[in-house]
Amino acid sequence: DAGITQSPRHKVTETGTPVTLRCHQTENHRYMYWYRQDPGHGLRLIHYSYGVKDTDKGEVSDGYSVSRSKTEDFLLTLESATSSQTSVYFCAISERVYQPQHFGDGTRLSIL
């Protein structure tokens, strides 16, 4: 199994608070991704990174920011959480293009 650790695994917070989710990999893979998974919508890309300090937006990036200061860590931040951001968040990594993405176990985030 790919060495991907997401933290925290579960979080409950209130609307308007900042939230940061962490993805840590031990595979030294170049590409890292953040997805959210919601009933009826499936898996949607939020942001991705193609190297240290190189990031770009995905399909549903509004309200989210990311940072990647080291190869192994990719952070997802909700600056001011809203109830619509209640979801399960998955981090994924891939070694290069045209290679499979491997996923972490997810973070279940509830915003009340």
Burial of 19 (0-12, 13-18, 19+ CB in 10 A): buried
Close Cβ partners of 8 (under 8 Å, ≥ 6 residues apart): 21, 107
Q: Does 12 bind other proteins (CB under 8 A)?
A: no
CB nearer to other proteins: give 57 or 67: 57
Query: Which residues within the stretch 50-89 sit at the binding site for other proteins (CB under 8 A)?
Result: 50, 56, 58-59
In the shown chain, the binding pattern of residues 19 to 38 toward other proteins, with x for contact by CB under 8 A and - for none, equals ------------x-------
Other beta carbons less than 10 A from residue 86's beta carbon: 17
Query: Measured from the CB of residue 16, what is the shortest distance to other proteins in angstroms?
Result: 28
Q: Does 90 bind other proteins (CB under 8 A)?
A: yes
Residue 95 to residue 31: CA distance in whole angstroms: 6
74-to-4, 31, 53, 54, 83 alpha-carbon distances in Å: 11, 10, 10, 11, 23
Query: Measured from the CB of residue 100, what is the shortest distance to other proteins in angstroms?
Result: 5
Query: Measured from the CB of residue 84, what is the shortest distance to other proteins in angstroms?
Result: 19
Q: Where do contacts with other proteins occur on this chain (CB under 8 A)?
A: 31, 40-45, 48, 50, 56, 58-59, 90, 92, 94, 97-106
